[in-house]
Structure 1
């Protein structure tokens, strides 16, 4: 059992090296030799952890997705008393990677996204990650809608349908929020929007969502 734990830790360590290299020189510049040097391990160690470069890249992509998802879930645990509506905003903000400390991860994520357009294996990994996040956001949006939360954490009628207002389509809104998060990530990275402006756009969208609900 200890050997298995050490093996997984080394795989994650190598994945971090892969992500650092992608951030520095793009996906096409990643070689097994450079990864080994960056991770300060031997080429043999890298090859024992991953049978091929493609397997290593897929693992690195999954590693980023797990980190983003874990930060989103940590938001839920850190403030269980906050409104469900506020929680949705915090989680989408994590997914959008808007904070400065996550900028390198955002660049790496978008590099993977571009590569996945022509790499079916990477695309499959991305779809799995999006499916997990979509499920989490669907649950949170449904909870916020059922509770009658507003963006400011106040209360609205619980039964929106009885007031002549169409209920929120939780899954549809989750998909929209994921697409919005990706768009905000790209706009901030190229300087089209500042992180603050991106956050304001996100909050404005959520305010309209809860007003409809």
Structure 2
């Protein structure tokens, strides 16, 4: 009997290989042949999972986005009694990829962001991810303002604008840490100083 292949697991294995190669060489250095070698599968196996390199990159971007999203959700669910402001801080910190153990992930994420500037399919995935995050951040900011009991703050703050600002800040801090302009500690301070000003 032929051995059954778990295509979902194989696609994730290949996505991990893409991410490792992108971390080492950037996306321009990712070839189907090298991905197959890194994933320890045949070229045919890669081509059965993905018809084109673009399709493979789209899946890999979705894979890394899911991994980051899972960590954000875990932080939010880990302490259900936390305030909306605290939850927002945890989510933004996870999204910024400032910790040393997430440095490779940050390099890969920004490689995909750069490639998305010339790839409509990758841009579509990123826009969908950012839309989901924007919605979550908007809700948390609205809840935090209401929970603060400061009606004047609710008037001053536009949660949609503040959510966009926070998403842009998180991505910017990721880049500044990667190139060495800021240390992770300095970036963390910038992020939390910004969050503290929201509730002043």
Under TM normalisation by the shorter chain, which class is it? over 0.9
User: CA separation in 2, counterparts of 1:100 and 1:165?
Assistant: 36
How far off is 1:8 after superposition? 1.2
User: CA separation in 2, counterparts of 1:38 and 1:135?
Assistant: 37
Q: Secondary structure at the match of 2:81?
A: coil
How far off is 1:43 after superposition? 1.0
User: CA separation in 2, counterparts of 1:17 and 1:105?
Assistant: 13
* Aligned match of 1:153: none
CA distance change for structure 1 residues 202 and 51 in 2, over 3 Å: closer, same or farther? same
Q: Secondary structure at the match of 1:98?
A: coil
Q: Is the aligned partner of 1:160 residue 2:146?
A: no
* Aligned match of 1:140: 140
Deviations 1:112-164 (A, max 9, x none): 1111111122111111111111111111111111111xxxxxxxxx2514xx8
TM-score, normalized by length of structure 1? Answer: 0.89
TM-score, normalized by length of structure 2? Answer: 0.94
Q: What is the CA RMSD across the aligned residues, in angstroms?
A: 1.4
User: CA separation in 2, counterparts of 1:27 and 1:101?
Assistant: 21
Q: Confirm or deny: 8 A CA contact 2:64 2:109 kept in the other structure.
A: yes
* Aligned match of 2:122: 122
Q: Confirm or deny: 8 A CA contact 2:85 2:141 kept in the other structure.
A: yes
Q: Secondary structure at the match of 1:166?
A: helix
* Aligned match of 1:65: 65
Deviations 1:61-108 (A, max 9, x none): 111111111111110111111221111111001111111111001000
- Equivalent residues, number: 197
* Aligned match of 1:194: 183
Q: Secondary structure at the match of 2:155?
A: coil
- Of 119-128 and 184-193, deviating more is 119-128
How far off is 1:47 after superposition? 0.8
* Aligned match of 2:75: 75
Q: Is the aligned partner of 1:178 residue 2:167?
A: yes
**Runs of at least 5 residues in structure 2 that lack an aligned partner in the other structure:** none
